[in-house]
Amino acid sequence: MENLNQENKKRKIYNNIKTGLTYFFLAFWGIIVLFPFYWMLLTSVKSYGSYNSEYIPAFFTLHPTLQNYKEAFTAVPLFGYFINTLIFTLVTTGLMLIITLLSAFAFARLNFPGKNVIFLLFLSLMMIPNELVVITNYVTITNLNMRNSYPGLILPSVASVFFIYLLKENFEQVPEEIYKAAKVDGTSDLKYLFKVLVPISRPTVITIIILKVIECWNSYVWPRLVTDNPRYFLVSNGIQEIRENGFGRENVPAMMASVVAVSIPLIILFLIFHKRIMEGVSRGGTKG
Amino acid sequence: MNDRNYKGFLYLLPALLFLGIFMVYPLIDVVIYSLEEGYNFASGNFNGYGLYNFKYVLHDPFFIQALKNTSIIVIITVPLSTLIALLISLGLNSIKPFREFLQTLYFLPYVTNTLAVGLVFMILFKKTPYSDGLVNLLINSLGYSSVDFIEGPYAAKMFVMCFYTIWIVMPFKILILTSALSSVNKDYYNAARVDGTSRFRIFYKITLPMISPMIFYLIITGFIGAFKAYSDEVAIFGTNLNEAGMNTIVGYVYDMLYGDSGGYPSFAGAASIILFVIVFTITVINLLISKNKVNV
């Protein structure tokens, strides 16, 4: 009996140490994740003078200033980059949503010749890497004289096969009887789609919208190819431009202020919708 | 009934139109580009068809450098990030308090702008006349001398690059692995515990086989993603990746297309097809291995 107690005690201590080490390890990774965010925030509120006089960077500041944010929005056209990105994100996401809803509905509810073959072809397009098609798209947009324009930025990324697939699966789970009943009542297909299917599939529709918004807000490669006029830069290109030519060479606090400004919208979106975002990504999104 | 037959196409029309113009046509066109020798972007003339573009790209020192950089990034980051993600997920799975909070926290890098956060990483690692940067101070405090991570030796630059790449890809991997781990049936564990099976044996004999399909999924998507590395490199080293010696295959494609060294869609096409062949081959090999190894 005595021996068993001893054994239990030993096991308890062992478990406690193990749990402690696990938490230590997890906290360590948490710090690695958070530290860049802390550092950008901290640096963005240090004054230019105090930042450059610190040989050993201070881990906190007693005299926070918003001067860098003022600088970020006046010395470089950061506000313009924001407006561009906002327009780009809204229009791209809106067009994508219309195209995706119509196609998903066609695949889920309508019958037409060659439907299965077309769907299979759609799925196979999911495997095509962007790098393969971007060359011709660049030439196409250049030849159409759409460089440095919103259509040039937006049009190539409005059709997404993955989202069509995701929504089609979701639409198919809605009982078809409702559709037949609606048909008998003389409800039009479009009305059925927007009044019945979309409200029922709301969670998936919202997930798709959020994922597309994130993708748009962070897109860098295509905008860089088709814009060289800063008037049409999106935030990613703006950040790169600021890094290479903005604020004079070494104004790191002002750079960090623009980085914070660019990051905040998505972080707010994440704080509100993190469950939806994580669920959507685990259902088939990848990075990019 | 007949009008309903073709109504489907009407609904599909926008998708067909955009996919046709911006995905299917370019797919055919890029092959044609890659075979047109001596193509001139301005006049649209070319000398004839052949494999010269592929030969040129494969002998271009910039492409060789890009291939080398990309391969190193792939070989280091894919196994390492998967392993760390597995350890973190196992840790998350074994705790209760703070679990959801940490899960959410770990996912944060996924939604951030890689260009923006890359700038922060650069500041942390960069050596300037004013300050050696935070990371170097850490190294100094351990008794070693400062290293220029951004413009210094190749190994130092590669270290920053791999570190940032892992930081970026981790959220996705942790997310996938934690949900795989939490879906393993608890009955198996209870049965094993009753039998007095050791923890390591439980992990090796129950957990690992149960989540191995997801690990392989992560390795495959990890390979594909890492081979297409580009914007993370720009975020750390700036747009002139050739000068920094840190270009990647995708970066080479874009440089051939655009910018100071641009105007060669034929070379860009050949390089992107080479990239596609590499990624495709590795994916097929991975699938073949996983078919033999994954026991579910």
Distance of alpha carbon B218 from alpha carbon B181, whole angstroms: 14
Q: Could you tell me if B262 lies within 8 Å of chain A, comparing CB atoms?
A: no
Q: Is A14 exposed, middle or buried (0-12, 13-18, 19+ CB in 10 A)?
A: exposed
B48 to chain A, any CB pair closer than 8 A? The answer is: no
Give the structural domain span for A114: 76-246
Contacts of B134 in chain A (CB under 8 A): 39, 57
In a domain, A140, yes or no: yes
The model's pTM is 0.90
Distance from CA of A135 to the nearest CA of B (A): 7
Total number of domains in chain B: 1
Q: Dmax of chain A from CA atoms?
A: 87
CA distance A260 to chain B (A): 8
- Judging contacts by C-beta atoms under 8 Å, the chain B residues touching residue A113 are 5
In a domain, A154, yes or no: yes
CA distance B215 to B106: 18
Whether B149 and B127 have beta carbons less than 8 Å apart is answered as: yes
Kindly state whether residue A56 falls inside one of the protein's structural domains. no
- Any chain A CB within 8 A of the CB of B107? yes
Hey, are the CB atoms on B115 and A244 less than 8 Å from each other? no
Assembly ipTM? 0.88
**Domain assignment of residue B218, given as a range:** 53-293
* Residues on chain B touching A110 (C-beta within 8 angstroms): 4, 7-8, 11
In a domain, A158, yes or no: yes
pLDDT for B107: 95
User: Average of pLDDT values for A221-242?
Assistant: 91
Q: For residue A164, which residues of chain B lie inside 8 Å, CB to CB?
A: 15
Out of B6, B110, B269, name the one closest to residue A281 (CB): B110
Average pLDDT over every residue of A63-71: 87
Whether residue A5 is contained in a domain is answered as no
Residue A51, in any domain of the structure: no
pLDDT at site A287: 42
Using an 8 Å CB-CB cutoff, list chain B residues near A280: none
Chain A contact for B238 (CB, 8 A cutoff): yes
CATH number of the domain that residue B241 is part of: 1.10.3720.10
Pick the residue from chain A with its C-alpha nearest to B218. A286
- Kindly list the averaged pLDDT for each block of 10 residues, start to end, along chain B of length 296: 72 95 94 88 80 94 96 96 96 90 94 91 84 85 87 93 96 93 82 80 86 90 92 90 92 87 87 94 88 62
pLDDT in tens, B241-293: 888 899 999 999 999 988 777 788 899 999 999 999 999 999 899 888 877 76
The answer to whether the CB of B233 falls within 8 A of the CB of B246 is: yes
Q: Provide the shortest C-alpha distance from residue B250 to chain A (in Å).
A: 7
Query: For residue B30, is it within any domain?
Result: no
Q: Flag whether A49 is in a domain.
A: no
Helix or strand run (H / E) with residue B251: helix B249-257
Q: Which residues of A191-212 are buried (b: 16+ CB within 10 A; e: fewer)?
A: ebbeebbbeebeebbebbbbbb
- With CB atoms and an 8 Å threshold, state whether A132 touches B265: no
CATH (domain of A166):
1.10.3720.10
Chain B residues close to A222, C-beta within 8 Å: none
Question: Domain tally for chain A?
Answer: 1
Report the residue of chain B nearest A107, measured CA to CA: B8
- What are the tokens at B156? 């130092």
pLDDT per residue over A28-49, tens digit each? 999 999 999 999 999 999 888 8
Q: How many CB atoms lie within 10 A of CB B118?
A: 27
Whether B31 is covered by a domain: the verdict is no
Q: Is residue B6 part of a domain?
A: no
